[in-house]
Amino acid sequence: MAFKVVKKNDLLDMQVFAQLRKEKRAEMTALKKIRRIAVGPDASFLFESYDTMWWQIHEMLFIEKGGDDQIADELSAYNPLIPQGNELVATLMFEIDDPERRKSLLMKLGGVEETCCLHLNEEIVIGDSETDIDRTNAAGKASSVQFIHFRLSDLQVDMFKKPETKISVGITHPAYGHSAVISEDVRISLVTDFD
């Protein structure tokens, strides 16, 4: 299996990107909309892809203007979030505008990254969090952004590809137990992530 990664030669010159940015932003907004699933009142899973990471790397380079010196760091940060083989990768975001309520919830969500799961009919796939940094601090406060890998078996990938499979994504943390059904439109989009 060849790894799907964004390479330096996949990147546009920043002047070219600046000219295409508005058009590409509209494309990415539409793509992310079909790959985002609200789970409960305060969280959503955004399932990442090569395209979303290509866009994110360009955005970071464009905004921070670090030039060639910045490229290696951005590739290193975002390439691990591109799904490989039989996996789906999601950014889990807790999105709460009120700072006090956000802090209060996150203080209760220590270890939430270990409670994310996919259900495929009766099968359960427990997510693995990115291990680059601890996303729950020593005081037990969770980060508002988590990166979760769902690694599926060949059988589970086959199940995922079938429209009749009931698929949901959820969080089973005692302080935030919610799940959401993955719609057919989302399922079709996510199927493209498998090799």
pLDDT at position 130:
77
3-state secondary structure of 57: helix
Confirm if 166 and 187 have CB atoms less than 8 A apart: no
Tokens coding 25: 């932003």
Q: Which of 108-112, 159-163, 168-172 has the lowest mean pLDDT?
A: 108-112
Is residue 142 pLDDT above 90, yes or no? no
The CB density around residue 23, as the number of other CB atoms within 10 Å, is: 9
The CB density around residue 29, as the number of other CB atoms within 10 Å, is: 10
pLDDT digits (tens, 9 = 90+) for 78-134: 999 999 999 999 999 999 999 999 999 999 998 899 999 999 999 999 999 876 655
Q: How far, in Å, CA of 56 to CA of 38, rounded? A: 21
- In order of 129, 161, 184, 185, 188, the CA distances from 168 in angstroms are 18, 14, 11, 13, 14
Read out DSSP for 100-131?
A: HHHHHHHHH-TTGGGSEEEEETTEEEE-EE--
Residues 6+ positions from 146 with CB-CB distance below 8 Å = 91, 92, 93, 112, 113, 116, 129, 130, 135
pTM above 0.85, yes or no: yes
pLDDT at position 3:
76
Q: How far, in Å, CA of 74 to CA of 69, rounded? A: 10
pLDDT digits (tens, 9 = 90+) for 35-81: 999 999 999 999 999 999 999 999 999 999 888 889 999 999 999 99
pLDDT digits (tens, 9 = 90+) for 8-20: 999 999 999 999 9
Q: How far, in Å, CA of 182 to CA of 195, rounded? A: 20
